[in-house]
Amino acid sequence: MPYWKIPAPIVLRVTGPHAVRYANARLTNDIVKLEVGSGCLAAALTPQGKTEGFFSVFKVEPETLLLFCDGGDHEKVTLAFKRYLVADKVEVIDESDDWVCFHATAFPGRERSRQITSSAIAWPRKRWKEPGFDVYERKDTVAVSGSKSKEKMLSDEEAKLARIQAGVPSFPENLNEERLFIEANLREAVSDTKGCYTGQEVVERIASRGKTPRILVVGFIEGTGSPELGAAVKSAEGVEVGEVIEVAVDVQKERSYVFISLKNSNEVLGLALNVNRKTLKLLTT
C-alpha cells in the first residue's frame, strides 16, 4: 500500500499552564475536551472566518499540545497562531526541523492503531479514498522511511491527485485567506458547543442560515490539456458560476481533476457546466 512523505510540515509544541485554554480560544475545535492521548482537526481563522492555518492537534501531556500543519508560509502560519498571546503563560516552540511526517494506508513495523506520545504519533485521517493514518515521528526515533520501506512512496503530484479525487481540501491550496473555512464543509474540525474563538461569529451566522455563499466541489474534465488556476467555470449559457482553484492530472486516463469554488445553489449544481468550453462533470465524494 502506498504512503506519502509530507514535504514541509509546520510543527509547533504549545506548552504551559494556559496552553490548552489559549489553543481553545484560537482554534475552531474544542481543545479543552481533549484528553491526554487524543487529537482532533482544528483551524485558526481570521475574524472574517477565513483560514490562516489548519492543524492536527494532539494532547501529549496535561499542559502540552503538538500541532501539525501540512504546509503554507512557515512564519505566517506560526505568527497567526501566536497572534493573540498577551499575558498567557504559553510557550510556542517551533519543532518543524525535528519531525518527519507521513500519510500511509499501511506502514511497516507498526500495527494499524492509534498512538500518541511526545515523540511518535499515529492517528487516522482521511486524505485519500482508502482509509489511512498520519504518522508523525521525531527524526531521532523515526521508523518509517523511504529508504527502509518496500512500499511505494507517492510523489507530491500523485498524492495530490489521490486527495482531489477523494474530495479532501487542503491547506493552503483550498483552505486559505481567500475563502471562508466553512465553505469546505469540514464540520469535524468545528465545535458547535465550545466557547468563543476567533472567527466564530462568521461561522455561526452562516451555519444558522443553512448554507455558505460558495462551496468547494470536485469535478473532472476529459482530454489532454488541463485548465489553469483561476479558469472560469461557466454554464452552457456562458454565465460564470465558479472558478478552478486546484488541478491534478491523471495522465493514464487523460483526465484533469479539479477543485472548484462554486456558487452554492441547487440551480447551479443542476446546470451543465464547462471550463474553457470543455464539459465539467461534478463528483459526489
What is the pLDDT, as a whole number, of residue 275? 96
Strands 240-250 and 232-235: antiparallel
Q: Are residues 130 and 34 located together in one domain of the fold?
A: yes
The model's confidence at residue 148, banded by pLDDT at 50, 70 and 90, is very low
Domain assignment present for residue 172? The answer is: no
Question: How many distinct structural domains can be found in the chain?
Answer: 2
Domain boundary (127, 149, 165) is at 165
Give the predicted TM-score (pTM) of the model.
0.91
Domain with 123 in it: what CATH number?
A: 3.30.70.1400
Read off the pLDDT of each residue in 145-167 and give the average, rounded to a whole number.
81
Domain assignment present for residue 185? The answer is: no
Taking residue 208's Cβ as centre, other Cβ atoms within 10 Å add up to 7
What percentage of the chain has pLDDT greater than the value 70?
93
The model's confidence at residue 106, banded by pLDDT at 50, 70 and 90, is low
What is the pLDDT, as a whole number, of residue 285? 52
Contact predicate 66/10, CB 8 Å: no
Q: Are residues 32 and 146 located together in one domain of the fold?
A: yes
Read off the pLDDT of each residue in 164-174 and give the average, rounded to a whole number.
96
Domain assignment present for residue 228? The answer is: yes
What is the SS3 assignment for 131?
Answer: coil
Q: Are residues 133 and 226 located together in one domain of the fold?
A: no
Domain assignment present for residue 186? The answer is: no
Read off the pLDDT of each residue in 69-92 and give the average, rounded to a whole number.
96
pLDDT digits (tens, 9 = 90+) for 40-77: 999 999 999 999 999 999 999 999 999 999 999 999 99
Residue 118 half-sphere exposure toward CB, CA atoms < 13 A: 7
Read off the pLDDT of each residue in 91-115 and give the average, rounded to a whole number.
81
Q: Is the pLDDT of residue 146 over 50?
A: no
DSSP bridge pairs for 138: 99
List of long-range contacts for 76-82, beta carbons under 8 Å, 24+ apart: 76/52, 77/10, 77/44, 77/52, 77/53, 78/10, 78/12, 80/44, 80/52, 80/53, 81/12, 81/26, 81/44, 81/52, 81/53
Q: Is the pLDDT of residue 107 over 60?
A: no
Domain boundary (146, 165, 184) is at 165
Q: Are residues 136 and 238 located together in one domain of the fold?
A: no
Domain assignment present for residue 191? The answer is: no
Read off the pLDDT of each residue in 274-278 and give the average, rounded to a whole number.
95
What is the pLDDT, as a whole number, of residue 147? 40
Domain with 246 in it: what CATH number?
A: 2.40.30.110
Q: Is the pLDDT of residue 95 over 90?
A: yes
Domain that holds residue 16: 3-165
